[in-house]
């Protein structure tokens, strides 16, 4: 029986890579505009980093979804289930708090969660993560949110809007959490198993319950905005003022929370129209106490994470077309053993000059030219006895079958000029689900 990919994993085949390349290029371009620098952290970290950093009450993540193991030295390790805790560990370990604030960082890479596979979410999936550290002003919240907005706008998403909320701070939120516990405890026996666990561990997560029977109960539940302290109210008001100033549409959702314990004050999602029921393409917020919790100084922070596979799924749902991967400019074709030797030499010369070139391994010239068409090369360079004797190369334009003879000594300059004058046939890849 043939092997298959493990449950919850997905091969990224060549036809998918135009979407990945387009997304990576836009991430690099937009983060550079905002002054964010790349960072990478190990794929596995100490298990204690995540149990302490994401919180024991974080929604089922610590309890059920982490890939944890013990190495040969007896150290308890975990494949990273999210980026933020690892980046904060690096921030503390390397004394990055001494750098000018806010420190702007981003990362792209795989994360691992042993969860139920679903559309756009796998047990190994990739994430684009943004962190801004060292600034309390809600203007930096909007800056981080704007990176996400600009990325999705550049990718062609339609109907973008923010969903926002304030979850309070470590001073005022405990009063709200207690109010939720007091409200739901009398009906605990009526709750589903997951919501009973949430009630015991982190009542805030009840606001995000997917149980349809919870809808009426939640409609009557306490509202966070009635419990915010003056500082959190002012922070949330300024956030809305900045969004209004920039003309960014948003909705306030008092039931919006995040699945990790470390979030305080601002939480947000980016929504797009036309991508199905799961319209949220990004989520994040503020985590002012996390670095201190991990043994570092009291440094505020705000960030977001967005799944790459989820973005690509949304791109396809919105019919976004992306540039094709660059095709080789030329395919060499030859007639005879002597011409093949010259073609091999010319192949190396072209590549060293930065010109993409392929060599077919078929004796028939007709088959070689068909292979050039399939490779979407712009030109076929044909060598035979006549060309060898004349010191020339026959160049066939595969977009129109026109042919010219070019001296071998001039072929690199000719190809560079021709390549700049017209693109290769492959222009874009249409979004096909």
| Residue 42 pLDDT exceeds 80 | yes
Question: What is the pLDDT at residue 332?
Answer: 94
59-85 b/e (C-beta count within 10 Å ≥ 16 → b): bebbeebbeeeeeeeeeebbbbbbbbb
* % residues pLDDT > 70 (the chain): 92
> Where exactly does CATH 3.40.50.800 map onto the chain?
330-427
Question: What is the pLDDT at residue 263?
Answer: 80
| Residue 5 pLDDT exceeds 50 | yes
| Residue 425 pLDDT exceeds 50 | no
Residues 72-110 have pLDDT tens digits of: 999 999 999 999 999 999 999 999 999 999 999 999 999
Question: What is the pLDDT at residue 424?
Answer: 44
DSSP state of 375: T
Q: Which uninterrupted H or E stretch holds 37?
A: strand 37-38
Of residues 9 and 261, which shows the higher confidence score? 9
| Residue 365 pLDDT exceeds 90 | no
Q: Which residues is 37 bridged to in the sheet? A: 105
Selection from 144, 78, 134, 68 nearest residue 106 by Cα: 144
Residues 104-163 have pLDDT tens digits of: 999 999 999 988 887 767 899 999 999 999 999 999 999 999 999 999 999 988 889 999
Beta carbons of 324 and 428 less than 8 angstroms apart: yes
Q: Which residues is 380 bridged to in the sheet? A: 331, 396
Q: Is 74 left (phi over 0), alpha (psi -120 to 50) or beta?
A: left
Query: Is residue 360 helix, strand or coil?
Result: coil
Query: Is residue 60 helix, strand or coil?
Result: coil
Question: What is the pLDDT at residue 226?
Answer: 95
pLDDT average, residue stretch 390-410: 92
Rg (CA), the chain: 28
Beta carbons of 208 and 260 less than 8 angstroms apart: no
Beta carbons of 399 and 425 less than 8 angstroms apart: yes
Cα angle 409, 412, 413; round to 5: 95
Contacts of range 38-42, beta carbons closer than 8 Å, 24 or more positions apart = 38/105, 38/106, 38/107, 38/108, 39/87, 39/90, 39/105, 39/106, 39/107, 40/107, 40/109, 41/80, 41/83, 41/86, 41/87, 41/89, 41/90, 41/107, 42/80, 42/86
| Residue 277 pLDDT exceeds 80 | no
| Residue 371 pLDDT exceeds 60 | yes
DSSP state of 417: H
3-state secondary structure 338-356: HHHHHHHHHHHHHHHCCCC
Q: Which of 240-244, 275-279, 381-385 has the lowest mean pLDDT?
A: 275-279
Q: 336 vs 264, 333, 370, 395, CA distance in Å? A: 73, 10, 18, 17
pLDDT band per the 50, 70, 90 thresholds, residue 364: confident
pLDDT band per the 50, 70, 90 thresholds, residue 63: low
330-427 belongs to CATH 3.40.50.2300: no
| Residue 242 pLDDT exceeds 50 | yes
Q: Which uninterrupted H or E stretch holds 70?
A: strand 68-70
> And the tokens for 25?
């290029």
Question: What is the pLDDT at residue 432?
Answer: 45
pLDDT average, residue stretch 339-364: 93
Question: What is the pLDDT at residue 139?
Answer: 97
Q: Which uninterrupted H or E stretch holds 243?
A: helix 230-246
Question: What is the pLDDT at residue 409?
Answer: 94
Average pLDDT, the chain: 89
Q: What is the DSSP string of 94-156?
A: TTGGGSPSSEEEEEEEEEE-----BTTB-SEEEEEEEEEES---HHHHHHHHHHHHHHHHHTT
Residues 183-230 have pLDDT tens digits of: 999 999 999 988 998 888 888 889 888 888 899 999 999 999 999 999
Q: 178 vs 174, 202, 278, 362, CA distance in Å? A: 6, 10, 30, 75
Residues 158-181 have pLDDT tens digits of: 889 999 999 999 899 999 999 999
Question: What is the pLDDT at residue 269?
Answer: 95
Q: Which uninterrupted H or E stretch holds 380?
A: strand 379-383
> Where exactly does CATH 3.30.930.10 map onto the chain?
14-172+228-322
Residues 259-270 have pLDDT tens digits of: 666 788 999 999
The CATH class given to the 14-172+228-322 domain equals: alpha beta
Q: How far apart are CA 113 and CA 281, in angstroms?
A: 18
């Amino acid at each position: 029986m043939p092997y298959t990919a493990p449950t919850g994993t997905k091969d990224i085949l060549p036809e998918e890579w135009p979407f990945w390349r387009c997304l990576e290029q836009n991430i690099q371009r937009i983060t550079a505009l905002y002054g964010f620098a790349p960072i990478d952290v190990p794929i596995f970290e100490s298990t204690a980093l995540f149990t302490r950093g994401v919180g024991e009450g974080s929604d089922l993540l610590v309890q059920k979804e982490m890939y944890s193991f013990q190495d040969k030295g007896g150290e308890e390790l975990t494949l990273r289930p999210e980026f933020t805790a690892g980046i904060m560990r690096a921030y503390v370990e390397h004394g990055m708090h001494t750098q000018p604030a806010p420190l702007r960082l981003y990362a792209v890479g795989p994360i691992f969660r042993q969860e139920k596979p679903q559309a756009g979410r796998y047990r190994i999936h990739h994430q684009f993560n943004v962190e801004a550290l060292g600034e309390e002003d809600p203007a930096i919240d909007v800056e981080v949110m704007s990176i996400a907005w600009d990325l999705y706008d550049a990718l062609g998403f339609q109907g973008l809007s923010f969903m926002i909320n304030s979850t309070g701070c470590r001073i005022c939120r405990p009063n709200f959490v207690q109010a939720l516990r007091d409200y739901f405890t009398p009906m605990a026996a009526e709750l589903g198993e997951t919501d009973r666990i949430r009630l015991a561990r982190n009542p805030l997560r009840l606001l995000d319950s997917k149980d349809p029977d919870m809808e009426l109960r939640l409609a009557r539940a306490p509202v966070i905005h009635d419990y915010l302290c003056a500082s959190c109210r002012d922070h949330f008001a300024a956030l809305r003022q900045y969004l209004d100033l920039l003309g960014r549409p948003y909705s306030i959702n008092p039931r919006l929370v995040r699945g990790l314990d470390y979030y305080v004050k601002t939480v947000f999602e980016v929504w797009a129209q036309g991508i199905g029921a799961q319209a949220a393409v990004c989520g994040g917020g503020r985590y002012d106490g996390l670095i201190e919790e991990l043994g570092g100084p009291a440094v505020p922070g705000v960030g977001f994470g967005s799944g790459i596979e989820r973005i690509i799924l949304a791109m396809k749902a919105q019919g976004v077309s992306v540039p094709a991967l660059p095709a080789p400019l030329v395919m060499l074709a030859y007639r005879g053993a002597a011409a093949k030797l010259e073609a091999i030499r010319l192949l190396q010369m072209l590549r060293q000059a930065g010109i993409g070139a392929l060599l077919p391994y078929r004796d028939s010239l007709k088959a070689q030219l068909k292979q050039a068409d399939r490779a979407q090369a712009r030109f076929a360079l044909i060598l035979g006895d006549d060309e060898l004797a004349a010191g020339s190369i026959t160049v066939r334009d595969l977009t129109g079958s026109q042919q010219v003879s070019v001296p071998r000594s001039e072929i690199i300059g000719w190809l560079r000029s021709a390549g700049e004058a017209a693109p290769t046939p492959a222009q874009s890849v249409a979004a096909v689900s």
